[in-house]
Amino acid sequence: MCGIAGIIGPNPSEAELQKMLQAQHHRGPDHTGTYFDPGFAAIGHNRLSIIDLSPDANEPFIDNSGRYYLSFNGEIYNYKELKEELKPHYNFKTSSDTEVLLAAFIYWGKECLNRFNGMFSFAIWDCREKKLFAARDRFGVKPFYYSEADKNLYFSSEIKTLKNVIFDTPPNLKVWANYFSYGSYGMPEEAFYSNIKQLPGGYLLEYSEGRLKLEKWYNFVSRVQNIRSESSIEQAKAEYLELLKDSIKLRFRADVPVAFNISGGVDSSLLLALVNMFEDKQQVNAYSFYTGDERYDELPWVEQMISTTQNPLHKVLFSASEVQTNAIKMSRQQDEPFGGIPTMAYSKIFEQAHANGVKVLLDGQGMDEQWAGYDYYQTSGSIIQGTGQNSPFRTHVLNPEFAALAQKTEYPEPFDNRLQNLQFRDLFYTKLPRALRFNDRVSMTYSTELREPFLDYRLVELAFAQPEGYKIKNGVGKYMLREILKPLVPSTISYAPKRPLQTPQREWLSQELKAFVEEKLLHLKNTSATDWFDHEKIQKEWKKYLAGDNTSSFHVWQWVNTALLL
């Protein structure tokens, strides 16, 4: 995992590039590298060494001819297999996946993207043709932000990196208004700040002579529609399980220690069970957070699972007293609104892992979207988990002019059924992009790499294509996944219900953190967002919350988070 940065155009400044790299130094503290093509390009890289720890794999990485310069964030998990294919065509000098990526591009061109199994965001500068080629992985696991300013194209791994050199980046009012009105975190190409854009997952970018071209290289819909889904459930289980084992095996490729995160749910329990099929369980550490509140903590399920595998378990406590400091830190790292106290508690895992010398963690993200695990797939409830049928939004506190900027997004519906269209929305527009952004910034804050075995594109496509009855049965989501897990773990784990709330955020905000919230609500009046709100109405809602109207705490966190960010 690393950070990429660059300036392409007639005025690439060495000083600006250094400022960009410094802003995201936490993403790669092991080495900082630069390349300058005066009058055309400045390419930079922050390295976190995971595969081939030698200086030979430092970046920007130069090909044998000296023509191409690569800055790469992520991992190509099938790099060993690709390297064998490419050996007749390229003389390799390192054992890194970085060199394999560059060799693949040189030999296959942009078609190399379809051969990669991994998470990636990279930029390749062609110093002969004076062209930039960049791409982002299928689901947007790794970030790519860019901005056109002062006749240059700037790109980076984080928003703060661009804001460090581009000053005309006021809040994107439409995105903010949608956030307060609908809980949206923007479309795949949008950011919460004007003049900053994202390269969507599954897209490539080309830039030459001031002309920018975007192209969609990953067509998820057509690939899913080409998968035959007439298999029996036993056949589907067997095929999926074999792919899952291969995905996990690939994601253990590293030259540094690998550990994993575990909650008490189906997804991470399956990950734990399968990890121990390949690795020495005494060597693979598990991490889980808890708050000390038995109403929310998943430790009983975690400990039950660990008792069957005997992996070393690191239990990380997150307390209310840590929220204020952590909220400030996380807001600075996330750059945009994030998921509240659960995200902060999750960050403690990476802090502890980093302290223990662990550089790579595996996580169970992605199963709910591909196997229909969210409760609203079976109801018409809110897409904010844990609020029931009550609205988590308080749009009446918004000033009418600001509220009028909100426009409910109509998401594409490329499939012929409601369930797959909801899953498609969550995979590419709502749930997953949001979670991946939260997770990337959290892990990178502590210079650790997060790998998502369940987001192997082969798994997502196969699961998505399965009949609804394999996903939901008798009101239970992730049905086939639970059936796969059942022989591997206690039945109380394989059919445990999904628990959407993992921290006492609702209680802490009104009790232990009451003074902190009130301080931030007061500060909100002094931010650039002050005119967005009717602050008297916010105070009325806050009093109602303190009086017990706290089915949802999302609106309170929205206001606090905004005060921290702006």
* Catalytic residue from among 2, 302, 460, 529: 2
Q: How do strand 152-156 and strand 2-8 relate by DSSP bridges? A: antiparallel
Q: Residue positions in the annotated binding site? A: 97
User: CA 332 to CA 43: how far, in whole Å?
Assistant: 24
The per-residue DSSP string of 309-349 comes to H---EEEEE--GGGHHHHHHHHHHHHSS----HHHHHHHHH
Strand residue runs (E) in 417-534: 449-451
Instruction: Pull the structure tokens for residue 269.
Output: 């329990």
Query: Which secondary structure element, helix H or strand E, spans residue 420, and what is its range?
Result: helix 418-428
Instruction: Pull the structure tokens for residue 185.
Output: 């975190």
Amino acid at the residue 465: A
Instruction: Pull the structure tokens for residue 239.
Output: 């095929």
Give the residue among 382, 343, 344 at the shortest CA–CA distance from 365.
Answer: 343
Q: Residue positions in the annotated binding site for L-glutamine? A: 97
Q: Is the peptide bond before 60 cis (omega within 30 degrees of 0)?
A: yes
> 419 and 380 in contact (C-beta within 8 Å)?
no
> 68 and 102 in contact (C-beta within 8 Å)?
yes
470-509 in b/e form (b: 16+ CB < 10 A) is: bbbeeeebbbbbbbbbeebbeeebbebeeeeebbbbbbbb
Q: What does the DSSP 8-state code read for residue 406?
A: -
User: CA 239 to CA 111: how far, in whole Å?
Assistant: 27
> 281 and 309 in contact (C-beta within 8 Å)?
yes
Q: Please indicate whether residue 127 is annotated as part of the active site.
A: no
User: CA 252 to CA 51: how far, in whole Å?
Assistant: 11
User: CA 9 to CA 130: how far, in whole Å?
Assistant: 10
At residue 119's C-alpha, the angle toward residues 467 and 179, to 5°, is 75
Query: Which secondary structure element, helix H or strand E, spans residue 480, and what is its range?
Result: helix 479-485
> 212 and 205 in contact (C-beta within 8 Å)?
yes
Torsion of CA 315, 321, 325, 326, to 10 degrees: 30
Give the residue among 397, 314, 323 at the shortest CA–CA distance from 352.
Answer: 314
Q: How far is CA 247 from the centre of its chain?
A: 18
Catalytic residues: 2
